[in-house]
DNA sequence: TTCAAAAGTTGAACTTGTTCAACTTTTTTG
DNA sequence: CAAAAAAGTTGAACAAGTTCAACTTTTGAA
């Protein structure tokens, strides 16, 4: 199976048996997404949660002024979820778009609930994953408040060089919360001195 | 017992029996914290998770330049946690300070683990709580990127008027990510027009 | 392979928010 | 209650980041 990556990823977060992994994996379906296609678009209800096997996705929202705000990027081994829409089955504020031809494993809401009921370890898994994600969001907010755009840019490209390499400057700037014009100026100033 | 608030709060997130609630509550110990005292300070390992019964807390970090960044405030019914320090038992980056005389229920790490092992519903509870918190952090990041300081100030005071009423302007500004001088100017401009 | 669309660059004027310093008001504490 | 400390206000100069418009470069599709 092509589920090795998912199995490894789960084993990093919880102690789990192979048969439990089999059960979990049996609920996921593979799907390919072409470059530019949307797995979710703003206004729709999110019916799937996804685990990225290959490729790259961008999760973003568009505000009232029409600006794109990127929440995160997801490459191999990352999860794609709009917790709000999936949990409450309300229309999503988010768009999830493939930045290259990609492969994901998807699980729908009713299967996810079956899994939760059937295997308590799945509750633990998503509890641990959510708490780790929370830590990351808190740290990002702190960086947004205490670092300049330039520092944030370098932090991003140094922390995720493989992801940054796949992205356009516009996509990076929408993640950093700055205009692409200003990112261009940051890069120029970064070459000249320090 | 004075555990009613905790029991109600848990019942809002998961289906649970009274005897399970009894078990959970039995692991929590009440504690009073005097105004100004710290439940946690930066550099220490966080040994407790807390549920606020009364009073008000501020969770914040101090960056290299000495600026305070407030992650959140917690009043009656809110949880106090430094997931990073508690989960990994590493020194905390956070301070948790009582802004008034307060009462909390505390649970330590080993009891929390006992609870997780004993009652799967506790895994579910914290999974649901963490996912709700994640949604809130994502929304806050979006607001930080697409709203001005003035809009964020009004959003905060309108969403949490009871909390805002307990806070100094310096505390609010450290939550909004602006200087207290600028908050003062926002308030003045808000009176004159709009 | 060409040409249209998207991405990136640059500069000038502008807006938002910061810094610092001086001052006033409120709160706390001996 | 008096003094000290903390909080809030104000202004002027400044820094960080935006906006808009013109331009160049790269990418992709017919």
pLDDT of residue B62: 94
The 3-state DSSP class for residue B178 equals coil
Yes or no: say if B7 and B26 are a contact pair by the CB < 8 Å rule. Answer: no
Span B142-191, pLDDT tens digits:
999 999 999 999 999 999 999 999 999 999 999 999 999 999 999 998 65
The dihedral over CA atoms of B87, B91, B93, B99, expressed in degrees to the nearest 10, equals: 90
Distance CA A115, CA A59 (A): 25
Please, which positions of strand C sit below 7 A from a protein CB? 7-12, 16-21, 29
CB contact under 8 Å between A144 and B144, yes or no, is yes
The 3-state DSSP class for residue B20 equals helix
Distance CA B43, CA B37 (A): 16
Residue partners of A31: CB distance under 8 A and separation at least 6: A50, A103, A104, A105, A106
CB contact under 8 Å between B177 and A124, yes or no, is no
A116: confidence class by pLDDT, cuts 50, 70, 90: very high
Of A56, A105, A59, whose CA–CA distance to A81 is shortest?
Answer: A59
Distance CA B61, CA B171 (A): 12
B184-CA/D12-C1' distance, Å: 16
CB contact under 8 Å between A116 and B124, yes or no, is yes
DSSP string, A9-51: HHHHHS---HHHHHHHHHT-EEEEE-TT-EEE-TTSB--EEEE
Residues of A in contact with B61 (CB under 8 A): 142
Question: pLDDT at residue A76 above 90?
Answer: yes
Which of A69, A117, A127 to probe the B interface (max B CBs under 10 A)?
A: A127
The 3-state DSSP class for residue A90 equals coil
Q: Give the Cβ contact number of residue A36 at 10 Å.
A: 10
Question: pLDDT at residue B194 above 50?
Answer: no
Please, which positions of strand D sit below 7 A from a protein CB? 7-12, 16-21
The partner residue sitting opposite B127, judged by closest CB among A61, A65, A127, is: A127
Taking CA–CA distances from B118, the nearest residue in chain A reads A120
Distance CA B129, CA B119 (A): 16
Domains in chain A, CATH or no CATH each: 4-118 (2.60.120.10)
């Amino acid at each position: 199976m092509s589920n090795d990556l998912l199995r490894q990823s789960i084993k990093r977060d919880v102690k789990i048996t192979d048969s439990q992994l089999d059960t979990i994996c049996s609920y996921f379906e593979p799907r390919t997404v072409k470059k530019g296609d949307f797995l979710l678009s703003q206004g729709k209800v999110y019916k799937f949660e996804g685990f990225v096997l290959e490729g790259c996705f961008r999760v973003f929202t568009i505000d009232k002024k029409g600006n794109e705000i990127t929440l995160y990027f997801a490459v191999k081994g990352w999860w794609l979820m709009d917790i709000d829409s999936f949990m409450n089955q309300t229309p999503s504020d988010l768009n999830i778009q493939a930045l290259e031809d990609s492969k994901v494993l998807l699980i729908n809401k009713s299967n996810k609930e079956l899994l939760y009921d059937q295997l308590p370890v799945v509750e633990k898994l998503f509890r641990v994953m959510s708490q780790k994600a929370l830590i990351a969001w808190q740290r990002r907010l702190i960086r947004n408040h205490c670092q300049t755009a330039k520092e944030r840019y370098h932090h991003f490209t140094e922390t995720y060089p493989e992801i940054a390499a796949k992205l356009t400057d516009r996509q990076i700037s929408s993640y950093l919360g700055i205009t692409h014009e200003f990112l261009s100026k940051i890069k120029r100033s970064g070459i000249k001195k320090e």
